Amino acid sequence: MAVVTGQDDMHPLDEEAAGWLVLLHDDAATDEDRRRFHIWLAADPAHQRAWQEVGRLWDGLDQLGETRAAGVVALAPSARRGFSGWRMPLAAALAVLSIGLGWQMLPTGVLADYRAGIGERELVQLQDGSTVELGTASALDVNFSDGRREVHLLAGEAFFTVSPDAARPFVVRAGGGEVLVRGTAFNVKIGEETRVAVAEHSVEVSAGPMQGVPVTEGEEVRLTTQGVSAAALADLETVQAWRHDRLVFIDTPLDEVIAELGRYRHGHIRLLGGDLGRMRVTAVFDARDPDAALDTIASGLGLRVWRATGLLVGLSKG
């Protein structure tokens, strides 16, 4: 079921400039589009610098036009709607991805004790009988001693089922905070903020010297650089949907949806347009097919989706 209603770390001005690049190289671009672009360009010197950077990247990418025949680049745009040739959306995509790219070519947590790759889940059996289910693109380090059981969630998401041991507390470090437990089941997800949701019994979540916040069954807290939030009711079905290959979004901003889908596929997804991320999405998607989710989102919100080499995906206004 999917009912759609209506970036990652790229600077907003770079994203706006890339959006203008896509629009102005579309055969359907109008005089009014070009007038609005010149107004935008003249409004701030920072706009001009962003546009110059995109233009520099465009010039450097123009040589890709000769590589298609050799099979180096393949493009399969959906709803092309007037792009003048295959190079326009591809070069725009590559320009967008080249600005502050930060490609993560190595697998997540490549040196971690345990990890799950993109689109994978991994069930880890710890030496004390506890289990950890790692979600997509997740990594975990384990450090057990005689007096303490400690694990460090380096990235991603995990569901912990902890065996009781009165002599050795179990501690999960994640997102700059700690989750202290003795025997319970709970979910931890790292993102812009770290979320801890408790499915059974209770835990205590702390950050730095601040007093820990108790979180009981059916509650969750959010951990940020400001500390730990007060406990609130959690939708445990939604929190644990990833364990059943489902992604649930309820009135969620599109930029958050794209960030989550990006954890389930190789490559990069970009929103081309500074205001696209504010669109809202309510949907349930199959986590095993993030590209189908992107197509559904594009259709529901009236957006254009294009793909290049299977790794680069862009969404722009239709």
Helix/strand/coil percent split, the chain, to 5: 30, 35, 35
Same domain as 132, residue 84: no
244 Cβ contact partners less than 8 Å away, ≥ 6 residues apart: none
Pairing status of strand 170-174 against strand 149-155: parallel
Same domain as 251, residue 153: no
Instruction: Measure CA 133 to chain center.
Output: 19
Give the position of tokens 């347009």: 273
Lowest mean pLDDT among 30-39, 120-129, 131-140: 30-39
Q: Which amino acid is at 284?
A: V
Cβ contact 148:128 at 8 Å:
no
Same domain as 230, residue 258: no
Query: What CATH number should be reported for the domain holding residue 73?
Result: 3.55.50.30
User: Which tokens go with 273?
Assistant: 């347009």
What mean pLDDT is predicted for residues 292-309? 88
Distance between CA atoms of 198 and 181, rounded to whole angstroms?
Answer: 11
Q: Which domain does 61 fall in, by range?
A: 2-102+245-317
Confidence check: pLDDT of 235 > 90 = yes
pLDDT category, 14, cuts 50, 70, 90?
low
Lowest mean pLDDT among 77-86, 108-117, 163-172: 77-86
Q: pLDDT (tens digit, 9 = 90+) per residue, 64-99?
A: 333 333 322 223 333 333 334 434 444 444 444 444
Let me know if residue 233 belongs to a domain.
Answer: yes
Q: Which of 208, 226, 241 is the last residue of a domain?
A: 241
Let me know if residue 115 belongs to a domain.
Answer: no
Same domain as 124, residue 228: yes
Q: Which of 241, 256, 275 is the last residue of a domain?
A: 241
Q: pLDDT (tens digit, 9 = 90+) per residue, 143-163?
A: 999 889 999 999 999 999 999
pLDDT value of position 26: 63
Let me know if residue 93 belongs to a domain.
Answer: yes
Same domain as 185, residue 169: yes
Same domain as 275, residue 203: no
Q: Which of 286, 270, 276 is nearest to 254 (CA)?
A: 276
Same domain as 271, residue 229: no
Query: What CATH number should be reported for the domain holding residue 179?
Result: 2.60.120.1440
pLDDT value of position 242: 97
Pairing status of strand 268-272 against strand 312-317: parallel
**How many structural domains is the chain composed of?**
2
Let me know if residue 186 belongs to a domain.
Answer: yes
Q: pLDDT (tens digit, 9 = 90+) per residue, 16-60?
A: 776 777 667 666 678 888 888 888 888 888 888 777 766 655 554
Same domain as 59, residue 85: yes
